[in-house]
Amino acid sequence: MLAQVHSCAVVGLEAQPVHVEVDVASGLERVTLVGLPDTAVRESSERVRTAIANSGFFYPQHRLTINLAPADLRKEGPAYDLPIAIGILAATRQTASELDDALIVGELSLDGSVRHVNGVLPMAGMAQKLGFRRLFVPAVDAAEAALVEGIEVYPVACLRELVEHLCGRHTIARREHSLDFQEDVEPTYPVDFRDIKGQEHVKRALEVACSGGHNVLMKGPPGAGKTLLARALPSILPRLSLREALEITRIYSVADALPAGEPLLRTRPFRAPHHTISHAGLVGGGRWPKPGEISLAHRGVLFLDELPEFGARNLETLRQPLEDKIVTISRASGSLTFPAAFQLVAAMNPCPCGYYGDERQQCTCSLSAVQRYQQRISGPLLDRIDIHVEVARVPFQKLASLETGESSASIRARVEAARKIQEARFRKWNRSGVLVNGDMGPAEVQAFCEIDEAGRNLMRAAMQQMNLSARAYHRILKLSRTIADLAGDARIQVHHLAEALQYRPRLLS
């Protein structure tokens, strides 16, 4: 007898429908699994056999043919265990075979319990779009699937429970749609700007960076507070919208990086990979490409501490995602595109010993060593970083002071006000994809970054004296537009350009 069960595969960040066809024929016992399965899928036959037996059902001692269609779509992971088991039981008339409106996913343990699988959120979204009425998922993943409206989600704890539900002997309680997300709720962060002593000029630079989505490089001696400032940065970023939260949750669901008990991420991600990270770990990849750190930092912050210590290949690969906000990974079987709209925050010492230019401790490095160290960061990558800021030592008087600085909530209020100005500006623009000033292209710069005669004279002198590239010229204008938005000015003034110019990198003297 032939039975068919609907399931799905996750390719990149998208789910694709998969039809699990099970045929039980006469002959010697043998299991044939076809449909481009990987090792985990091929091993499912043993898990399914034992789970069916331990759940109190009969496993057929006949020839089984299991087809995962379409045959040219790769199938990986253990999410097909449960649909294969239901297909076998339906083909042997041990459970109901009318499953046309149901989609089933789940991994089976040997005792028949159903375990967690990756990518439930995109699976639920696909099921809703294709018109499935019921979705059976592992019980631990039901809250994540219930984020999608318009489909009945049933949490399955074990194989026997699902069979009894399909046969009508026992009903699984449906998980109700629960998208409890309030955009005006005050988020909590581990580091607040009020707890950071001094560094007022760096805080101002980070405020400007968050207001326009600009990239930042902090340079200073060890212990000056670069890492602490970077970890406080998410606390002044605008609060997540529901659309952004679902985007981020979708990526983390596929990467199996969702925190336990949190089906929906409510704060912007902060990713701080170590400098020993591999190329695939940073950018994404693998035999079947998965999201890397730059995609996990989507709509959040990617912090690269000790920037010169990262491999040259890893750093140069960042150049394209910084411009296009996406990363494309190509393999012989095809290409996958992952989102990468992250804000880069990097930190580095000025030299190998860390004290070049320090007022209190003498540098022990030769000038050639300092030059070699700083030249590990290529010019094209530095050109894509809008804000270069020096982080000096904090004097004792400020460290010992009991006064607290301005809170992150106050700074975030100004950042959100500037973002609202940009949102209103770009909403009227007839091109999509531009959300903040840092995303502007040449056409948007020409339309929204007009400067007067005094500003043109200042930029003309800066181009000649600082040897600026065309990209640097546009980035200065975009940064000036953000500074003007923070001040509430409709036009870019000379002092806005002057502040933007001071954030350009200093030449080694």
pLDDT per residue, tens digit, the chain (509 aa), is 899 999 999 998 999 999 999 999 988 888 999 998 988 899 999 999 999 999 999 999 989 999 999 998 889 889 999 999 999 999 999 998 789 999 999 999 999 999 999 999 999 999 999 999 999 999 999 999 999 999 999 999 999 999 999 999 999 999 998 887 777 677 788 889 988 888 889 999 999 999 999 999 999 999 888 999 999 999 999 999 889 999 999 999 999 999 988 899 989 999 999 999 999 999 998 778 889 999 999 999 999 999 999 999 999 999 999 988 999 988 777 788 999 999 999 999 999 999 998 888 889 999 999 999 999 999 889 988 999 999 988 888 888 887 788 899 999 999 999 999 999 999 887 666 788 999 898 889 998 999 999 999 999 999 988 888 888 899 999 999 999 999 999 999 999 999 999 999 876 54
Contact 436, 448 (CB under 8 A): no
Q: CA 385, CA 388: separation in Å to the nearest integer?
A: 7
Half-sphere exposure of 12 (CA within 13 A, CB side): 15
Residue closest to 177 by CA, chosen among 124, 230, 215: 124
Contact 54, 6 (CB under 8 A): no
pLDDT for res 197: 87
Pairing of strands 114-115, 301-304: unpaired
pLDDT for res 256: 92
Q: CA 467, CA 44: separation in Å to the nearest integer?
A: 62
Residue matched to tokens 């020993």? 276
pLDDT for res 123: 96
Q: Any idea what the Cα angle at residue 222 is, between residues 219 and 226, rounded to 5°?
A: 50
Burial class (CB in 10 A: 0-12, 13-18, 19+), 479: buried
Q: CA 68, CA 37: separation in Å to the nearest integer?
A: 8
State the sign of the Cα–Cα–Cα–Cα dihedral 303, 306, 308, 309.
negative
Q: CA 357, CA 359: separation in Å to the nearest integer?
A: 6
pLDDT for res 260: 85
pLDDT for res 509: 46
CATH class of 2-167: alpha beta
381: helix, strand or coil: helix
Exposure string of 267-293, with b = 16+ CB inside 10 Å and e = fewer, is bbbbbebeeebeeebbbbbeeebbbbb
Q: CA 243, CA 233: separation in Å to the nearest integer?
A: 21
Contact 53, 47 (CB under 8 A): no
